[in-house]
Amino acid sequence: MGHDPGMRPVVVAANWKMHTTPDDAGELARTIARRTGEPSVVRVICAPFVCLAAVRDALVDTDPPVAVGAQNIHHEMQGAFTGEISALMLTGLATWVIVGHSERRRDAGETDRLVGRKLGRAVEAGLRPILCVGELLEDRDAGRAEAVVESQVRGALAGLDPGALEAAGLVVAYEPVWAIGTGRTARGADAAAMAEAIRASAASAGWPHAAGGLPILYGGSVTASNIAEFLAEPAVDGALVGGASLKPDEMAGIVARAALTAQARADPARTS
Ligand code: 13P
């Protein structure tokens, strides 16, 4: 069990992927911020590198605040790595970063070991990491979804200081690969079971706090119409939203539903 979800934040993170330009990102960020102004929900917009300054500037006076995140970082802090961006370079631009997204595992060949090094750089640079894990359809069909995800978690966390990860506010996103961009989603109960498996493997990797305190998001074709199924699960703490995060109406619906969960956690006498 996830023990007491009341101690975990409810997070809605937008992953804009390779969409938006420096010319239009600021306005989209401002519109989303205006349409989702729920103080109880932690909101993050993960924009392309070249749009980070525009998004930061657009959100600077937003109240309640919306955090800015990047979608990737290099596994070294600096050096001869043409075209790469390090955690250090994000200082002043972003406070969160996604590592290990399945599209990067697929297209850039990122391994658990490499993802773990990126996680380490994020922590060193004071960025709040969102570690993405998730199984392929063939893994789920073969009954090894939990084993795959547990091994991704253990592989990424290996050698990292659990205290530093906890201090950095590590968040894990469970994103089954077969649900990303497909319109197909996991069932809420399956996402909850995977969230508990992720907490258990983080705890067994030397981070006992993770058993109750590690926030876990669901990602994969989340929309305003299906978010309730995931947030009805006490083990799930929010969503990492791809396609729908570019649509203010969708984000408004998702964050409004997330606010119900956040308020219920803060005041258990209310229902979510
Ligand atoms: P979609 O919401 O477009 O399926 O993408 C999910 C995702 O990959 C978020 O990181």
> What's the gap in Å between 118 CA and the centre of ligand 1?
20
Q: Measured from the CA of 180, which atom of ligand 1 is nearest?
A: 4
Burial class of 167 by CB neighbour count within 10 A (0 to 12, 13 to 18, 19+): exposed
> What's the gap in Å between 270 CA and the centre of ligand 1?
30
Query: From atom 1 of ligand 1, which residue's Cα is the shortest distance away?
Result: 242
pLDDT in the model for residue 11? 98
How many Cβ atoms are within 10 Å of 224's Cβ, its own excluded? 18
The answer, yes or no, to whether any atom of ligand 1 lies below 6 A from the CB of 226, is no
Length of the chain: 272
Query: Which helix (DSSP H) or strand (DSSP E) does residue 23 occupy?
Result: none
Sole residue written with tokens 């989340």: 222
pLDDT in the model for residue 271? 56
Active site positions, annotated: 101, 175
The answer, yes or no, to whether any atom of ligand 1 lies below 6 A from the CB of 202, is no
Antiparallel, parallel or unpaired: β 10-15 and 41-46: parallel
> What is the value of pTM for the model shown?
0.96
Average pLDDT, the chain: 95
pLDDT in the model for residue 269? 73
Q: Which residues in the chain land under pLDDT 70?
A: 1-3, 270-272
> What's the gap in Å between 220 CA and the centre of ligand 1?
5
pLDDT in the model for residue 127? 98
Q: Can you tell me the distance from the alpha carbon of 16 to that of 46, in angstroms, rounded to the nearest whole number?
A: 6
Task: For residue 196, give every residue at least 6 positions away whose Cβ sits within 8 Å of its Cβ, in sequence order, or none.
Answer: 1, 2, 235
Q: Measured from the CA of 179, which atom of ligand 1 is nearest?
A: 4
Q: Can you tell me the distance from the alpha carbon of 222 to that of 243, in angstroms, rounded to the nearest whole number?
A: 8
> What's the gap in Å between 186 CA and the centre of ligand 1?
12
Give yes or no for a contact between 74 and 85, defined as CB atoms under 8 angstroms apart.
Answer: yes
